[in-house]
Amino acid sequence: MIYKRSSQLFSEAKKVIPGGVNSPVRAFKAVGGEPVFIERAKGAYLYDEDGNKLIDYINSWGPLILGHAHKPVLDAVIEKAKKGTSFGTPTELETKIAELAVKMVPNIDKIRMVNSGTEACMSAVRLARGFTGKEKIIKFAGCYHGHSDSFLIQAGSGAMTFGTPNSPGVTQGTAKDTLLAKYNDLENVKELVEANKDEIACIILEPVAGNMGCIPPVKGFLEGLRKICDETGILLVFDEVMTGFRQAAGGVQERLGVNADIVCFGKVIGGGLPVGAFAARNEIMNHLAPDGPVYQAGTLSGNPLAMAAGFAMLTELHDNLEIFESIDKKTEYLHKGMDKVLNEAGVSFSINRIGSMISVHFGKEPVTDFQSSVRSASTGKFNKFFHGLLENGIYIAPSAFETWFISEALSYDDLDKTIEEVGKVAETL
């Protein structure tokens, strides 16, 4: 495929935008090469500035569960825009989307809208601290909760020591309140809780991880965390920014039957517009301003266009629950197909999948946490795999540390074509 115009646009972008992108992972740094500039998209396909058509497995990093430019979502936004784009006052639609979310998600009474997943997680942690009066938090190596300071803590620190910042600009003072644990390792969490008795406000995690590849929780992990929290008064925060309204209508809480105390949303809840949200039971949410002392606000929070897109998206999902089964089946089909052709090619690999999230790892050992994900990425095969697929019209995330997102817009023909290309690329690895 030719990427001449993308390349020119990237050169121009780099002169006026840091690294040429407004979010780092878009720059293809991990896999090498230059990013593809997209001109438009429809359904399962992206069309780039050079006229190439790509089958999309990123779907804007998760929001577009029904594919690009989905008509009911698009119509809702267009109609709303005609009435004005922002008022900075309450609107009826905010209540309607909140009612729908509370109906779909188990174990929540109230929900507050923000503008991104980062804001959702940042605010959830502040609320947890305000509610419990404790300052420390536990996060897991390899889990991503947005770019707010408390979460940018280096993986690989000794589990019993305080975190150290892995981005300049995060102070030691902030970092020392973030304790790092190993994903899928309950014993490690127990040790941290024991060593920091009565100091921990919350344990935050992706209940299905998608930011170190797709890594499902091992059996008993979430249940074990729930038990630890129940015994100690620590709040359990599920970051369902990727998994909310995707792993089931009610997210991982519903799919795996474990309740969280605070749940964070993003991506699907905004239907492709900038939305995040966090939710909990009344006793916790009532601590939030203006009813309670924990401050949190936003000029464009609950913005009419974003709410129109989100409401249309959630309504589609709520009224067509069979979509969840359908995308899971498509993902399973893709899994089986890739399994076959990768085996035939004789490469060492493992595929992780749960619901409509899936990732391919190259290496002999299973990928169950950040360390094993890093080891598989270090084989270097992923980068070749990525570029091989891109050259043949298949667009997966440009990093081994990302999940693929399956959309309902993908047809079985698209999946067959993908499996065929995976097979061809695998022969070259």
Catalytic residue annotation? 144, 239, 267
Residues 176-235 that bind ligand PMP (CB under 6 A): 206, 210-211
Residues 53, 69: Cα–Cα separation, whole Å: 15
Residues 24-83 that bind ligand PMP (CB under 6 A): 61
Please identify, using beta-carbon distances, which residue of 273 and 426 lies nearer to ligand PMP: 273
> Can you tell me which of 35, 63, 67, 117 binds ligand PMP, judged by CB under 6 A?
117
> Can you tell me which of 28, 144, 362, 405 binds ligand PMP, judged by CB under 6 A?
144
- Considering only the stretches 212-220, 237-245, 278-286, 337-345, report the one whose residues sit in contact with ligand PMP under the rule CB under 6 A: 237-245
Q: How far is the CB of 206 from ligand PMP (least distance, A)?
A: 5
Q: Is 118 in the site for ligand PMP (CB under 6 A)?
A: yes
Q: Is 241 in the site for ligand PMP (CB under 6 A)?
A: yes
> Can you tell me which of 20, 216, 250, 266 binds ligand PMP, judged by CB under 6 A?
266
> Can you tell me which of 239, 261, 408, 421 binds ligand PMP, judged by CB under 6 A?
239
Q: How far is the CB of 328 from ligand PMP (least distance, A)?
A: 19
Q: How far is the CB of 209 from ligand PMP (least distance, A)?
A: 8
Q: Is 304 in the site for ligand PMP (CB under 6 A)?
A: no
SS3 labels along the chain: CCCHHHHHHHHHHHHHCHHHCCCHHHHCCCCCCCCCCEEEEEECEEEECCCCEEEECCCCCCCCCCCECCHHHHHHHHHHHCCCCCCCCCCHHHHHHHHHHHHHCCCCCEEEEECCHHHHHHHHHHHHHHHHCCCEEEEECCCCCCCCHHHCECCCCCCCCECCECCCCCCHHHHCCEEEECCCCHHHHHHHHHHCCCCEEEEEECCCECCCCCECCCCCHHHHHHHHHHHHCCEEEEECCCCCCCCCCCHHHHHHCCCCCEEEECHHHHECECCEEEEECHHHHCCECCCCCECCCCCCCCCHHHHHHHHHHHHHHHHCCHHHHHHHHHHHHHHHHHHHHHHHHCCCEEEEEECCEEEEEECCCCCCCHHHHHHHHCCCHHHHHHHHHHHCCEECCCCCCCCEECCCCCCHHHHHHHHHHHHHHHHCC
Q: Is 312 in the site for ligand PMP (CB under 6 A)?
A: no
Residues 387, 374: Cα–Cα separation, whole Å: 19
Please identify, using beta-carbon distances, which residue of 129 and 145 lies nearer to ligand PMP: 145
- Considering only the stretches 30-38, 117-125, 192-200, 327-335, report the one whose residues sit in contact with ligand PMP under the rule CB under 6 A: 117-125
Q: Is 303 in the site for ligand PMP (CB under 6 A)?
A: no
Q: How far is the CB of 347 from ligand PMP (least distance, A)?
A: 28
Q: Is 139 in the site for ligand PMP (CB under 6 A)?
A: no
Q: Which of 71, 2, 31, 39 shows the shortest CA–CA distance to 409?
A: 71
Q: How far is the CB of 42 from ligand PMP (least distance, A)?
A: 23
Please identify, using beta-carbon distances, which residue of 175 and 205 lies nearer to ligand PMP: 205
> Can you tell me which of 68, 126, 139, 145 binds ligand PMP, judged by CB under 6 A?
145
Q: How far is the CB of 364 from ligand PMP (least distance, A)?
A: 28
Size of the site for ligand PMP (CB under 6 A): 16
Q: Is 310 in the site for ligand PMP (CB under 6 A)?
A: no
Q: How far is the CB of 204 from ligand PMP (least distance, A)?
A: 9
- Considering only the stretches 98-106, 122-130, 170-178, 239-247, report the one whose residues sit in contact with ligand PMP under the rule CB under 6 A: 239-247
The answer to whether the beta carbons of residues 192 and 204 sit under 8 Å apart is no
Residues 412, 396: Cα–Cα separation, whole Å: 17
In angstroms, what CA-CA distances link 78 with 62, 188, 210, 307, 313? 22, 50, 32, 12, 14
Q: Is 121 in the site for ligand PMP (CB under 6 A)?
A: yes
Please identify, using beta-carbon distances, which residue of 276 and 388 lies nearer to ligand PMP: 276
Residues 118, 126: Cα–Cα separation, whole Å: 12
Tell me which residue has its CB nearest to ligand PMP.
117
The answer to whether the beta carbons of residues 175 and 166 sit under 8 Å apart is no
Q: How far is the CB of 241 from ligand PMP (least distance, A)?
A: 3
Please identify, using beta-carbon distances, which residue of 211 and 296 lies nearer to ligand PMP: 211
- Considering only the stretches 112-120, 131-139, 383-391, 412-420, report the one whose residues sit in contact with ligand PMP under the rule CB under 6 A: 112-120
Residues that bind ligand PMP (CB under 6 A): 61, 116-118, 121, 144-146, 206, 210-211, 239, 241-242, 266, 276
